[in-house]
């Protein structure tokens, strides 16, 4: 969204796929969490999310496959037709290097999962002629802006919001057919708007 605010002339339609960092942290969110979980979170707060994978060295891919089989299984269908896709290896090698992306995420984060600078506060800065399509996974850990909130913040814009049933944070793989369909509709809408149809 920041890019769309800074370079609006380069954006025809903003698509948000399970976007992190939009809503503000509610006041009471951490009062519901047991003390022992708060303690563990406090201990691990300075560490980046994939630190254990890097620390495991060559055992990292196996650790990843055991600790997060859900990530590996998302792409199991790539192994059809005799392909031997080792997605655990791929994720490991993507994350075994310098954790610049994780460090950036960590620096933007306030407590676990909340943004220091919620983008909802910058929504009025987004040009009104930029339309938005937002998708959230029904089972995602990302906090959702209510379906009523987007249109209220963007009264003069086209806003399309979708909750993808059964999907987690990785909406592009958890509900790939629905995701692709929504992307195609957003693209067609943007193209028609650009052509003045």
| Mean pLDDT over each residue of the chain, to the nearest integer | 83
Tens of pLDDT, residue by residue over 31-43, are 667 778 778 877 8
Banded pLDDT at 81 (limits 50, 70, 90): low
Q: In this model, does residue 85 exceed pLDDT 60?
A: no
| Residue extents of the structural domains in the chain | 1-24+118-197
Q: Is the pTM of this model over 0.85?
A: no
Q: In this model, does residue 10 exceed pLDDT 90?
A: yes
Mean pLDDT on 101-114:
78
Banded pLDDT at 182 (limits 50, 70, 90): very high
Tens of pLDDT, residue by residue over 142-172, are 887 777 787 788 888 888 999 999 999 889 9
pLDDT, position 30: 56
In words, the CATH class of domain 1-24+118-197 is alpha beta
Mean pLDDT on 110-126:
84
- Complete DSSP assignment for the chain: -HHHHH-GGG-SEEEEES-SS-SPPPTTGGGGS-HHHHHHHHHHTTS-TTHHHHHTGGGHHHHHHHH-HHHHHTTGGGGGGG----HHHHHHHHHSS--HHHHHHHHHEETTTEESS-GGGGGGGS-TTSEEEEEEETT-SSPPPPTTHHHHH-TTS-EEEEEETT--S-HHHHTHHHHHHHHHHHHHHHHHHHHT-
Q: In this model, does residue 57 exceed pLDDT 70?
A: yes
pLDDT, position 11: 93
Mean pLDDT on 65-84:
71
Q: In this model, does residue 75 exceed pLDDT 60?
A: yes
């Amino acid at each position: 969204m920041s890019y769309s605010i800074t370079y609006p002339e380069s954006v025809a339609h903003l698509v948000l796929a399970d976007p992190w960092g939009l809503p503000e942290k509610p006041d009471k969110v951490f009062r519901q969490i047991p003390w022992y979980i708060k303690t563990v979170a406090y201990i691990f707060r300075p560490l980046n999310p994939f630190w254990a994978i890097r620390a495991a060295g060559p055992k990292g891919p196996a650790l990843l496959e055991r600790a997060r089989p859900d990530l590996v299984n998302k792409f199991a269908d790539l192994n059809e037709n005799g392909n031997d896709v080792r997605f655990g290896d791929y994720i490991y090698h993507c994350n075994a290097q310098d954790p610049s992306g994780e460090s950036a995420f960590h620096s933007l984060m306030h407590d676990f999962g909340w943004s220091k600078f919620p983008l909802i506060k910058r929504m009025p800065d987004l040009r009104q002629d930029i339309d938005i399509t937002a998708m959230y996974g029904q089972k995602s850990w990302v906090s959702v802006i209510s379906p009523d909130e987007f249109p209220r913040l963007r009264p003069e814009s086209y806003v399309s919001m979708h909750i993808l049933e059964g999907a987690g944070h990785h909406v592009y793989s958890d509900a790939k057919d629905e995701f692709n369909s929504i992307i195609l509709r957003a693209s067609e809408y943007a193209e028609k708007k650009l052509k003045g149809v």
